Amino acid sequence: MPPPMMIIAGPPGSGKGTLCENIQRATNVVHLSTGDLLRVEVKQATELGKKAEEFMSKGKLVPDALIIAMVLQRLKQKDIKERGVLLDGFPRTGGQAEALKKAGVKFDVMVLLEVSEKSLMERSAGRRLDPQTGTIYHLKFNPPPSDVLPRVVIRPDDQPEKQKFRIEVFNKTKAELVAAYQDILLPINADQPIQRVYEEFVRKSMAKKQSKL
Ligand code: AP5
């Protein structure tokens, strides 16, 4: 049976990364987050990283011309061919969805996390990242252990005005995404505790038999 190919979509702070971590604990599927890939490029100050940082620091989308080739290249690698992928944060525009289709990359399901703007603001404000392991925490909803707490960092794009702007950007392109993947769309109520979101994902994907997890 071919491996699972899943898109995990949703507004900033909706819990895409968190859901992917939970799915990964139960499966062998590869988690590919374009935000994480870009942050590595920025940290290593590569040509791409320098260009991408100009957009990321303002909460804007990195232009398709910079990101599409990088993602298509990564999707061709052996681990994803063998184990499948949770593609987190890509595609985000009609152009990106089109590029995937043109390259012949097919998906079983597009999970769409649905969360109120109030929750998105609260989640972004309390988010903390462990730079050593990449684990995502939240000061209130998923607090870091006491030995990890001193080293956690705040993402620069989690300032309230940047988060607001990122939500607006998502709302502008959401319709293009939904239209591109209408046939495999799996909406999930992500305005509930972390474990419940995961349970709803498992239940709905099993019921629809869209997931091969
Ligand atoms: P990216 O890192 O993908 O940012 P994002 O889409 O804005 O999503 P986030 O990472 O902010 O949130 P998330 O949904 O993963 O939530 P999380 O699990 O962390 O991209 C960053 C930037 O890179 C973009 O702005 C853009 O510039 C660029 N970029 C990336 N992809 C691109 C693309 N395809 N095209 C162009 N540019 C691109 O959870 C958030 C917090 O809430 C955490 O603290 C978590 O613990 C908590 N939490 C999670 N779930 C719950 C829950 N159910 N209840 C309570 N708390 C929860």
Per-residue pLDDT of the chain (213 residues; tens, 9 = 90+): 889 999 999 999 999 999 999 999 999 999 999 999 999 999 999 999 999 999 999 999 999 999 999 999 999 999 999 999 999 999 999 999 999 999 999 999 999 999 999 999 999 999 999 999 989 999 999 999 999 999 999 998 999 999 999 999 999 999 999 999 999 999 999 999 999 999 999 999 888 765 555
CA–centroid distance, residue 19 to ligand 1 (Å) = 11
Residue-level length of the chain: 213
pLDDT for the residue 212: 55
- Using alpha carbons, select from 4, 2, 57 the residue that is nearest to residue 29: 4
Q: Is 202 helix (H, G, I), strand (E, B) or coil?
A: helix
For ligand 1, atom 7, which residue shows the shortest CA distance? 12
Question: In one letter, which amino acid is 210?
Answer: Q
**CB of 144 closer than 6 A to ligand 1?**
no
Q: In whole angstroms, what is the distance from residue 84 CA to residue 163 CA?
A: 31
pTM of the predicted protein model: 0.94
> What residues act catalytically?
16, 92, 127, 155, 166
Q: In whole angstroms, what is the distance from residue 31 CA to residue 44 CA?
A: 21
**CB of 9 closer than 6 A to ligand 1?**
no
For ligand 1, atom 53, which residue shows the shortest CA distance? 194
| Beta-strand relationship, 127-129 and 136-138 | antiparallel
Mutation pick for ligand 1 pocket among 7, 16, 119 (CB with most ligand atoms within 8 Å): 16
**Long-range pairs of 137-140 with CB within 8 A, sequence gap ≥ 24:** none
For ligand 1, atom 50, which residue shows the shortest CA distance? 15
CB atoms within 10 A of CB 177: 21
Q: Is 85 helix (H, G, I), strand (E, B) or coil?
A: strand
Question: In one letter, which amino acid is 205?
Answer: S
CA–centroid distance, residue 1 to ligand 1 (Å) = 31
pLDDT for the residue 208: 75
